[in-house]
Structure 1
Amino acid sequence: MAHLAQRTFIPLNIAVLTISDTRTFDTDTSGQTLAGLLQTAGHVLIDRALVKDDIYQIRAIVSRWIADPQVQVVLMTGGTGFTVRDNTPQAVLPLLDKQVEGFGELFRQVSLAEIGMSSLQSRALAGMSNGVLVCCVPGSPGACRTAWNMILLEQLDSRTGPCNFAPHLKPQPQQGNEACETRS
């Protein structure tokens, strides 16, 4: 089990993207949920956008954020199901340098207790690209809370040991990147 090591908390610069054909900023409860959770945890909401479920529009925004020297994490909500209009995984996978293989499996595992076997229909995924962690979760506030509280909160906290994602992200001028601890 993870624990908080004797390190300093480093706030990360996080962008939030909602993928939806029907939501507006006023009705985007999933994006609002992620933005609120990350700010409550002490991180910085550096940008927020909403885009139709179109592979190339998704790629354009995510590519811009991956190239932005200020963005360290991209959290995406929506488009991870199995309908014809669910294109987030297809849009994001070609942009990743490395996939975080266990993210989708872990998300489905922790979702099982909340939504039962329907968790199988989530194509949640995560990966690294140009020093940016990109995470794709389903488009409901509940799924966003589950992903944040059960996975991302600790993995984006620089104090979490033995390891977290902070040392692997683009360093910011005010930040240092400490390596992971060794296991004893």
Structure 2
Amino acid sequence: MLTDHRKHAAKHLVCAVITVSDTRTKETDKSGKKIIDLLINQEHQVHFYEIIPDEGEQIRTTVEKAIDSGKIDAVIVNGGTGISNRDVTIEAIEPLFEKQLPGFGELFRHLSFQYDIGTASILSRAICGVRKHCILFSIPGSTGAVTLAMEKIILPEVGHMVQEIHKDVKHE
């Protein structure tokens, strides 16, 4: 089901992947690697990949660093979206949004309920928004959640989203 709008979607994006975890390393970050593999399989590029601890200030500054480089079309942050005291990704990222897309989180929770974790989906605080002409996703860090978000929502729509963000931007 390809709408006319999606026919003009950006095809080859430059992305950033940020894993929020107190315990993962680049060797053990299955979710970050999954995101990267799925992006590359769709012919997108990953120019920024970092693993950072569940620390609000570090999350915010790392996301800003990726976006402020001016080279990134989409940032995908995984981890830190739950309800424990250490889960502060949403609190760090949400204030950065110029526009929020609540439908992303709503759809993600619906699909999580339907295909992955059932009623535990209410614990997810996945969000999406726009900052400085860049789309920013924040998803849970489990490999199942990452796969679901990437395959069912992000990969099918991210090119269209980037095209929409840039369609009325005046370039100097």
Distance, in Å, in 1 between the alignment partners of 2:17 and 2:9 is 24
When residues 86 and 11 of structure 1 are mapped into structure 2, their CA distance, relative to the original with a 3 A threshold, is: same
Count of aligned positions = 167
The one-letter code matched in structure 2 to 1:64 is K
Q: Does 1:86 align with 2:82?
A: no
The one-letter code matched in structure 2 to 1:167 is Q
Corresponding residue for residue 167 of structure 1? 163
When residues 8 and 132 of structure 1 are mapped into structure 2, their CA distance, relative to the original with a 3 A threshold, is: closer
Corresponding residue for residue 130 of structure 2? 128
Segments of 5+ residues of structure 2 without an aligned counterpart are none
Distance, in Å, in 2 between the alignment partners of 1:104 and 1:6 is 24
Which whole-Å deviations, capped at 9, do the CAs of 1:13-42 have from their partners, x for residues lacking one?
000000000111100011001000011011
Distance, in Å, in 1 between the alignment partners of 2:141 and 2:154 is 16
Report the secondary structure of 1:46's partner residue. strand
Corresponding residue for residue 102 of structure 2? 101
Segments of 5+ residues of structure 1 without an aligned counterpart are 158-163, 171-176, 179-184
Distance, in Å, in 2 between the alignment partners of 1:101 and 1:108 is 11
State the TM-score, normalizing by the size of structure 2. Answer: 0.90
The one-letter code matched in structure 2 to 1:150 is K
Distance, in Å, in 1 between the alignment partners of 2:108 and 2:140 is 10
The one-letter code matched in structure 2 to 1:59 is R
Query: Is the contact made by 2:10 and 2:162 (CA closer than 8 Å) also made in structure 1?
Result: no
What aligned pairs does 1:12-91 form with structure 2 within 5 A after superposition?
A: 12-91=13-92
The structure with the largest helix share of the pair is 2
State the TM-score, normalizing by the size of structure 1. Answer: 0.85
Distance, in Å, in 1 between the alignment partners of 2:56 and 2:9 is 38
Report the secondary structure of 1:24's partner residue. coil
When residues 81 and 66 of structure 1 are mapped into structure 2, their CA distance, relative to the original with a 3 A threshold, is: same
Identity percentage of aligned residues: 36
Shift, 1:68, TM fit: 1.4
Report the secondary structure of 2:25's partner residue. coil
Distance, in Å, in 1 between the alignment partners of 2:43 and 2:111 is 24
Deviant stretches of 4+, over 3 Å: 1-9
Query: Is the contact made by 1:53 and 1:85 (CA closer than 8 Å) also made in structure 2?
Result: yes
Corresponding residue for residue 146 of structure 2? 144
Query: Is the contact made by 1:131 and 1:168 (CA closer than 8 Å) also made in structure 2?
Result: no
The one-letter code matched in structure 2 to 1:84 is N
Query: Is the contact made by 1:72 and 1:169 (CA closer than 8 Å) also made in structure 2?
Result: no
When residues 89 and 8 of structure 1 are mapped into structure 2, their CA distance, relative to the original with a 3 A threshold, is: closer
Distance, in Å, in 1 between the alignment partners of 2:74 and 2:10 is 16
